Amino acid sequence: MVDSFDFLVVGKGMMGAAAARYLALTGARVALVGPDEPADRTTHDGVFASHYDNGRITRTIDMDRDWALLARRSIARYGAIETGSGVAFYSEAGCLIAAPAPGDPYDYLEQVISARDTLAVDAPLLSHQEMMARFPWFKFPEGFAGMFEARGAGHINPRALVDAQTRIFVKNGGMVVASEVSAVSERAGQVEVVTIDGTILRAGRVLVATGGFSLAKQLLPRPLDLAVKARTVLFAEVGEAQLADFATMPSLIGSSSAQSESYYVLPPIRYPDGRAYLKIGGDPSDIVLGSEAEVRAWFRSGGNPAAASHLLAVLRALMPDFAPKSLHAAPCVTTFTRHGYPYIGLIDGTRIGVLTGGNGAAAKSSDEIGRLGAALLLDGRLDAPEYGTDFSLHYR
């Protein structure tokens, strides 16, 4: 039996679930196709998703005006998504960016200030002394300054956000197919999607939103110019007796003159195992995954031990008074596009659309990115003049 729809979205992650919700809100017949999270990633043979996590930083302040706008529009809708779904996913803990003070040759903060002022974001510049007094958990190098966004910033739970988007999607008539896709192809003016269990779905247009698994040859008729990079994150457990001491800790982004000196930290967040962890990320070097098989193998691994050691050293220097109850590392991946923004477009001459390429910045902005993906399928083209980039696809 073949099910027919107006639109199909392949990939049940943050961007795909958002796109599916927007499509369903139009009254169209829509299916969202993607597997559920595996019970044990170390033995799982199928695809994975980077949203299998409970904490991602959210904020508007950014070096780039377009990324800041994507975030602002998404954050403005968090409340409506929580209300419409009954699922809470957002914690307004605030976000601090710490870097060499303006005037340093590394002009990171100057770029953030420029983007902040363009969008009139309330995020004052703080001196080193003000930061140390206001945020006693951290020890920053001399010469650092910071920008703190107290409202509309903090962290989100990606698992809960996908759940929220999916619930609203289903409330509006959407159909979820919890299976991995094995093939996407065009047939007689429609796009056909086949799952690994043999289910066949057809639609007028399909949006492929598969993150790092966009490398899979059976999903797209032309290979995209994507770089999928392995990432390692470190989780530092906070004991129950210590949690009250971190109650007002914000999310943090720290940046110096080199990638190896850049990092992010989230305050203690409760995870599915019942424990609360402070999370730190910021790989000192890149590991490029060149195939779908390599992406699967990476997700089954324990991450990069060298990166985990680096992150622990950063954490100890940043928070010298913090003694973790336990430590463990985990793998993740980040998908980068040629121009540094998401790819949102139709593959040339086809009915197959693409929504991929988070570039390490998309979790907080996934609702707006999903809205743009839905607009692409509805109109057959993307017209977003409010952004400085056209989100165009680039091929290998």
Residues 234 and 300 both lie in one domain: yes
What's the CA dihedral at 359, 225, 299, 296 to 10 degrees? 160
Residues 245 and 296 both lie in one domain: yes
20 lies in some domain: yes
Residues 148 and 238 both lie in one domain: yes
Report how far apart, in Å, the C-alpha atoms of 261 and of each of 110, 295, 334 are.
Answer: 18, 25, 18
Residues 236 and 260 both lie in one domain: yes
Residues 249 and 299 both lie in one domain: yes
388 lies in some domain: no
48 lies in some domain: yes
**DSSP per position, 110-152:** HHHHHHHHHHT----EE-HHHHHHH-TT--PPTTEEEEEE-SS
pLDDT value, residue 258: 54
In this predicted structure, the answer to whether residue 51 has a pLDDT above a threshold of 80 is: yes
Candidates 101, 61, 48, 88; CA nearest to 264 is 61
Tens digits of residue pLDDT in 310-325: 999 999 999 999 999 9
Task: Provide the domain count of the chain.
Answer: 2
Mean pLDDT of 127-152: 96
Q: What is the CATH number of the domain that holds 96?
A: 3.30.9.10
Residues 47 and 16 both lie in one domain: yes
Whole-angstrom distance, CA of residue 7 vs CA of residue 24: 9
Tens digits of residue pLDDT in 296-311: 999 999 999 999 999 9
Residues 6+ apart with CB under 8 A from 236: 277, 278, 279, 280, 315, 322, 324, 326, 327
Residues 169 and 315 both lie in one domain: no
Please provide the average confidence, as pLDDT, over all residues in the chain.
95
Q: What is the CATH number of the domain that holds 33?
A: 3.50.50.60
Residues 93 and 177 both lie in one domain: no
> Is residue 290 packed enough to be buried (19+ CB in 10 Å), middle (13-18) or exposed (0-12)?
exposed
Residues 84 and 37 both lie in one domain: no
Residue 375 phi/psi, 5-degree rounding, is -60, -35
Pair of tokens at residue 380: 């057959």
Half-sphere exposure for 347 (CA within 13 Å, toward CB): 25
Q: Which residues are bridge partners to 326 per DSSP?
A: none
386 lies in some domain: no
Q: For the whole model, what pTM was predicted?
A: 0.96
pLDDT value, residue 50: 85
Split at pLDDT 50, 70, 90, the class of 1 is: low
Residues 214 and 236 both lie in one domain: no
22 lies in some domain: yes
Mean pLDDT of 7-36: 98
**DSSP per position, 199-239:** -EEEEEEEEE--GGGGG-TTT-SS-B-EEEEEEEEEEEEE-
Residues 231 and 302 both lie in one domain: yes
257 lies in some domain: yes
139 lies in some domain: yes
Residues 10 and 26 both lie in one domain: yes
Tens digits of residue pLDDT in 223-280: 999 999 999 999 999 999 999 999 999 999 998 765 447 999 999 999 999 999 999 9
User: By residue range, what is the domain housing residue 95?
Assistant: 72-157+227-337
pLDDT value, residue 261: 78
Split at pLDDT 50, 70, 90, the class of 46 is: confident
Pair of tokens at residue 165: 């988007």
Tens digits of residue pLDDT in 143-154: 999 999 999 999
393 lies in some domain: no
